[in-house]
């Protein structure tokens, strides 16, 4: 791929974010092996890249962040070809649908991993979560569109005592009854639950067992005033985002006024509410915003 051959003249680069040319006969990924000073590499649209071709990245010994988005040919074996990058701290694998449970066992090859994002891994189930649980230094975990994850696998993440951020988006089979296992994350500060419609109000009560939880994002079409009464009990929250809240009322939202530590409240997709009445929620020290439509949540992650 002549288009990427210029990289051979930029050997001092430390950070690259680029779309691969999916129209070319070759992926061109081999050109990146010459950038030995790279610390962060983010590649998009690698439709032609195979597991074996990732071996060409093995010379990037300084690499700490790697993002591979829209690489549909990658399987769980891709981790085998990246074992010579043991200093990886951030790994972003989005829209790589062939990766399943067994492939994740090779995450053990990255002992310094702090952030992991897995997206549209359609073969990933709860059984694969145990392998993620072996990444004991993990601080941030994102699961996006992993539609076969039901939630029982959260119990197998008990080794992630250092986890501070958990994002679960579009995990449509996720059942909130397994949230009792969240108590295994005593340092969890931020939780995002969006497009997970099987979560029930009572499941949110488990969040009271997270003493460090400060930020909560919850998006569910059945979110209503009863949900708010439970969220009201999460008195340590300082930031709350609620979206797709068509069943909430202004009266229900007023119950949040008792949350003395809350200083950031954001509502999206609440066009049925009257803007004037929502102004009554404002108070000193509270940064309050609301949008009639949903704007902050991207369906393609």
Q: What pLDDT does residue 280 have?
A: 75
- Strand-by-strand arrangement of the 40-44 sheet: 15-19, 40-44, 65-69, 90-94, 115-119, 140-144, 165-169, 190-194, 215-219, 239-243, 264-268, 287-291
With tokens 């962040």, the residue in question is 65
CATH of domain 2-291: 3.80.10.10
The answer to whether residues 97 and 119 touch, using CB atoms and an 8 Å cutoff, is no
Q: What pLDDT does residue 300 have?
A: 45
Residue 195 gets the label, from left (phi > 0), alpha (psi -120 to 50) or beta, of: left
In the predicted model, residues of the chain with pLDDT beneath 70 are 1-3, 21-25, 96-97, 221, 277, 294-301
Q: What is the Cα Rg of the chain in Å?
A: 21
Q: How many CB atoms lie within 10 A of CB 235?
A: 11
Q: What pLDDT does residue 275 have?
A: 73
C-alpha closest to that of 193 among 230, 225, 233, 240: 240
The tokens of 277 are what? 């009445």
Which neighbouring-strand residues pair with 141?
Answer: 116, 166
Q: What pLDDT does residue 181 have?
A: 92
Q: What pLDDT does residue 237 have?
A: 96
């Amino acid at each position: 791929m002549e288009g990427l051959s210029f990289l051979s003249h930029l050997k001092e680069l430390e950070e690259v974010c680029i779309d691969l040319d999916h129209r070319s006969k070759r992926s061109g990924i081999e050109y990146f092996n010459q950038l030995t000073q790279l610390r962060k590499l983010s590649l998009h649209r690698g439709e032609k890249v195979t597991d074996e071709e990732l071996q060409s990245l093995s010379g990037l010994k300084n690499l700490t962040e790697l993002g591979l988005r829209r690489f549909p040919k990658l399987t769980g074996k891709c981790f085998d070809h990246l074992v010579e990058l043991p200093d990886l701290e951030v790994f972003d694998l989005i829209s790589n649908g062939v990766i399943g449970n067994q492939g994740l066992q090779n995450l053990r090859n990255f002992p310094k991993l702090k952030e992991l994002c897995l997206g549209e891994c359609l073969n990933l189930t709860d059984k694969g979560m145990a392998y993620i649980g072996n990444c004991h230094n993990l601080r941030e975990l994102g699961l996006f569109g992993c539609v076969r994850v039901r939630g029982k696998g959260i119990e197998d993440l008990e080794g992630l005592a250092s986890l501070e951020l958990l994002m679960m988006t579009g995990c449509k089979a996720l059942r909130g009854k397994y949230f009792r296992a969240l108590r295994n994350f005593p340092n969890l500060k931020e939780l995002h639950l969006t497009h997970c419609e099987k979560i029930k109000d009572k499941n949110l009560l488990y969040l009271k067992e997270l003493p460090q939880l400060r930020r909560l994002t919850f998006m569910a079409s059945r979110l209503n005033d009863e949900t708010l009464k439970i969220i009201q009990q999460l008195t340590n929250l300082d930031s709350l985002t609620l979206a797709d809240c068509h069943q909430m009322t202004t009266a229900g939202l007023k119950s949040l006024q008792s949350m003395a530590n809350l200083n950031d409240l954001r509502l999206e997709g609440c066009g049925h509410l009257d803007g004037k009445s929502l102004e009554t929620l404002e108070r000193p020290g509270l940064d309050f915003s609301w949008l009639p439509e949903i704007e902050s949540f991207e369906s393609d992650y």
